[in-house]
Structure 1
Amino acid sequence: MIVSRRYSLHALLCVALLAGAVLTGCSVGDPNINEAESALEDGNYEAALESVERALDEDPENAQAYLTRAQIFEQQATEVDDPEERVRLYEEVAEAREEALAINPDLEEDIQGTRQFSYIDLMQKGADGFNEAQEEGDEELFRETASYFASAGLIFPDSSAAHTNEAFALLNAGDREEVMPVLERAVETAQDTVDADLYSILSSLYLQFDREEDALPLLDEAVDFYPDNQELQELRLNAFTATGETERALEAYREQVERNPDDPTFRYNYGSLLLNDEQHAEAAEQLERASELDPENGDIFFNLGAAYVNQAADIDEEMSSLENELREEEREPTDEEESQLEEWSSERQALIEQSIPPFEQAYELLDESDESYGVVCRELYRSYVLVERTDEAAEIESCFDNIDEEQPEMNQSQQQEQPNGQ
């Protein structure tokens, strides 16, 4: 999940600034275009556009008319203060240039030069605004800044830098849901390899807004590029879990543990998945190793204790099943059945005893302010009571008395609170 933080600008593309990159008119003999250019010089945009429309009515294939239209809209865009209007005008600019190019492909070089000039100007204005917004902590200024980058992205739709910087401006403005399409464009237009942070931020947002079905294929792609990126692996685990693809998740983390046997997080995530899948003995094995690799992590110790308690609960179910059978048949257990019950009882108690050290470790490691603290206290208290360690239970009884039974359970996976945004 993404929490509040500041995102820095993506590196600006270095595009050579072309001298005299503004298109000059080739309007000799076309009075409508001459009138449009004259009106544009006077700042009379309405009259200029009317002249352009007359030129196009007379000749729909007039490429120069479209170029003049683009110039009119762009000059208007440089003067507006409304961010949405700025973006709308640059949409008109981009569309007019595309129309001109479709009519006359030989204009490609001139139009490209003009695009570069516009792009650099917009990216620089965006960078200046971004820096000012960071200094002032102004969300509205971040939104205005985003409009410059959005406009640059309209000028050069394949510019991943423009889309990325627009996304970071919107994130700093707090516009989480609105930023997803922008991040999608940034990922799609990345020329070589998508930056790991883009994968992380976009997939985190997908998960935050219940779009797990979109998150999973993105994260499959991400971990192919960055197989050792722990954060992406953990996000993928969350996506697997949210979509109910437990078997795929187990297989993915089994592979990660085999590839990185000394990574405590992979062990922890794998063990937690096994725990949720009720493979309690296997879970305990993974979590025991994770606790050895990361002895300061209270969550690992809690889940390890839970794995032992759940194994005890599994045995308790076996005992209850046999005892119910005996009651239904109204008979005493056979010697073999009696021996089995005694063995199960001994194993159950041993497992509960085994749960106490990791619960105690979790209790020591977690702070009282931690939302999981009460859950740990409750389970440790219960284990003490079940093995009749009453003095120790009494020592933490005050903690247990203050527990809200509605407190959330421990997190399944160790997940970074924020992506490493650029």
Structure 2
Amino acid sequence: SSLLFAGGGPNVNGAKLYIKQDDLKKAIGVLLKEVEQVNAKNEDAWYLLGYVYARRGEYAKMAEAFDKAVELKPKFKDKGVKISKDSGTEFHSQFGTEMILKIVWGKVFNEGVKYFNDALNAPDDSLKQSNFEQAAEAFKAAGTIAPDSVLAWQNMASAYMSMNKYEESIEPLQMALKHNPKDCNLKTMLAQVYSSSGQDSLAMPIFEQLWYGTGITVTSGMTASKVALILGEPKEKNITEVGGRKNEQWVYDNSTYVYVKDGIVTAVQYTIKESEQDCRTEDVADYLARGYIKADNMEAAKNVYKQALEVNPDNFNFRYNYGTILLENQEHDEAIVQLLKAAEIDPEKNDINYNLGAAYLNRGVSKREDLPEDSQDKTYKEDFKLALPYLEKAIRMNPDDSNTWFTLGRIAGQLNKIPLSGYAFAKGEPTKSVLDSKVVVGMQGSALKMILGEPNQINSLESEQFETVMEWVYKTRRGTKGKVAIPEPISVYVMGERVDALLIIK
């Protein structure tokens, strides 16, 4: 009969020799032979297997082997198996599992951070994708090494979210929440992932619990019959019908409302408790409100922001996001009120200036459309005038935004500011050259005159924002000696001494 060792033995001694020689593959071979064929409870063999797997970067196998080694001999946590002249460089076999795990975890976690940062700074999408993938793998390895490492799982999910791989983000977020179940940020991330992957039925209850508190008993997606069992019959039911479908508002008291459509809860409203406000971030409010809008519950969406602003009236994002959803719902007057208050808080945000301009523009268009066809009322243009400075400021802050240029062009046209309108459209869809590249953006105005001569007309844009820009208009003409033919009228916009934009007038 063979003699069984608690530790040591010929295979273990052989493995030590291979480790000294840095032949880790052969070391694994003899150690596996020991635990699989000779003695499955050889503590030294399991420990050295974990050590060699750590050296080779096979972290799942490392973790499994170390777990078995520590189960057999708990002291391995602090002190391992000594090998004289160990070939390891980053750590040695005698360190013990806890120290080796810390060293290895730090190594792979920092690799993940590096890959993630490289992805953020990558010059092209292919390299960005590759770096995010490697970051996710590194953070996964860190989570495998230390399953209670919330940061590793969270960062793994962030890498996948950065690649729009929302389904792959779910499991690491669930792992992170397993070890930190009360973390508001992790819950928010998971709900965002569910929402972005089209799983609103899973997202909305989380957002509602983040906003109203985990103690709420009714959430979106529940059946009306279940609500009745939990809360009882409501004091009143307010029913409206849209497109043949019933929307119901169940009123329980002054602060609890349940919105039901086709027998399913689509939104809830509760009083917010002071102790649960830490989770009520701008992101939670925006996702929750937009989820309610998606479920045709605009009133519930507006209530989210009303509650938020009661608690924090000077929060820019609450004001801005509330104004934006009102604008999208064509509630122009109230949208302008909220956006103006947001602009008072932070007037230098580019989006606030664009949205204010858009709100005034849309209100003016709505007023014009409500007028009779033969109306001479032009008061709607007052809104266009109010929109103009906000859009000009938005352009100054983000001169490459073509959408803002086009919107500015529309308003300027409505106000009969034709030179400004032309300039805005020219900047929104830039033409780099005309007349077989004889005239190009960036050329000197003096060189332009040598090619085309004096312009037929010079116009100011009548804008303080663009007071240094002039419109040079060249009309159609045939080519003659010393003059280039101009088959279609051209507006050349000159800023200072250089051509800034070109527009072919058709």
Q: Which runs of 5+ in 2 are unaligned?
A: 19-25, 79-95, 212-275, 431-506
| Corresponding residue pairs, total | 329
Q: Is the 8 A contact 2:356 2:390 kept in 1?
A: no
- Structure 1 residue 195 displacement after superposition: 7.0
Counterpart Cα distance in 1 of 2:117 and 2:333? 54
CA distance 1:315–1:163, shift in 2 (3 Å)? closer
Counterpart Cα distance in 2 of 1:219 and 1:76? 45
What is the match of residue 377 of structure 1? 408
Amino acid at match of 1:365: A
Counterpart Cα distance in 2 of 1:402 and 1:151? 49
Q: Is the counterpart of residue 300 in structure 1 residue 352 in structure 2?
A: yes
CA distance 1:29–1:227, shift in 2 (3 Å)? closer
Counterpart Cα distance in 1 of 2:181 and 2:6? 48
Counterpart Cα distance in 2 of 1:263 and 1:128? 35
Q: Is the counterpart of residue 278 in structure 1 residue 303 in structure 2?
A: no
Aligned residue runs from structure 1 range 117-266, under 5 A? 117-126=99-108, 129=111, 150-164=140-154, 177=165, 180-181=169-170, 183-185=172-174, 187-191=176-180, 194=183, 196=185, 216=204, 219-220=207-208, 226-227=278-279, 229-230=281-282, 233-234=285-286, 246-266=298-318
Q: Is the 8 A contact 1:164 1:183 kept in 2?
A: yes
Q: Is the counterpart of residue 396 in structure 1 residue 378 in structure 2?
A: no
CA distance 1:379–1:201, shift in 2 (3 Å)? farther
* Structure with a larger share of its residues in helix: 1
Counterpart among 33, 37, 41 of residue 16 in structure 2:
41
Counterpart among 394, 403, 407 of residue 365 in structure 1:
394
TM-score normalised by length of structure 1? 0.59
TM-score normalised by length of structure 2? 0.51
Q: Greater CA deviation, 206-215 or 147-156?
A: 206-215
* Structure with a larger share of its residues in strand: 2
Q: Is the counterpart of residue 78 in structure 1 residue 54 in structure 2?
A: yes
CA distance 1:317–1:233, shift in 2 (3 Å)? same
Q: Is the 8 A contact 2:322 2:338 kept in 1?
A: yes
Counterpart among 36, 45, 48 of residue 53 in structure 1:
36
Aligned residue runs from structure 1 range 284-363, under 5 A? 284-315=336-367, 318-319=370-371, 346=377, 349-363=378-392
- Structure 1 residue 276 displacement after superposition: 1.4
Amino acid at match of 2:348: E
- Structure 1 residue 184 displacement after superposition: 0.8
Amino acid at match of 2:59: Y
Which structure: larger Rg? 2
- Secondary structure of the residue aligned to 2:379 is helix
Q: Is the 8 A contact 1:274 1:282 kept in 2?
A: yes
- Structure 1 residue 369 displacement after superposition: 1.4
Counterpart Cα distance in 2 of 1:128 and 1:264? 35
1:346-395 Cα offsets, whole Å, 9 max, x none, are 4xx434312422332222332331243223313322441xxxxx3x3443
CA distance 1:98–1:259, shift in 2 (3 Å)? same
CA distance 1:177–1:194, shift in 2 (3 Å)? same
Q: Which runs of 5+ in 1 are unaligned?
A: 1-26, 57-61, 81-85, 324-340, 385-389, 406-422
- Structure 1 residue 273 displacement after superposition: 0.7
Q: Is the 8 A contact 1:150 1:163 kept in 2?
A: yes
Kindly, what percent of the aligned residue pairs are identical?
20
What is the match of residue 410 of structure 1? none
Q: Is the 8 A contact 2:320 2:339 kept in 1?
A: yes
Counterpart Cα distance in 2 of 1:165 and 1:298? 30
1:74-110 Cα offsets, whole Å, 9 max, x none, are 2332332xxxxx3xx3323434555678xx7xx5844
Counterpart Cα distance in 2 of 1:32 and 1:127? 33
What is the match of residue 90 of structure 1? 59
Counterpart Cα distance in 2 of 1:354 and 1:145? 50
- Secondary structure of the residue aligned to 2:9 is helix
Counterpart among 77, 86, 98 of residue 116 in structure 1:
98
Q: Is the 8 A contact 2:357 2:387 kept in 1?
A: yes
CA distance 1:75–1:156, shift in 2 (3 Å)? same
Counterpart Cα distance in 2 of 1:134 and 1:314? 47
CA distance 1:152–1:291, shift in 2 (3 Å)? closer
CA distance 1:248–1:95, shift in 2 (3 Å)? farther
Q: Is the 8 A contact 2:108 2:138 kept in 1?
A: yes
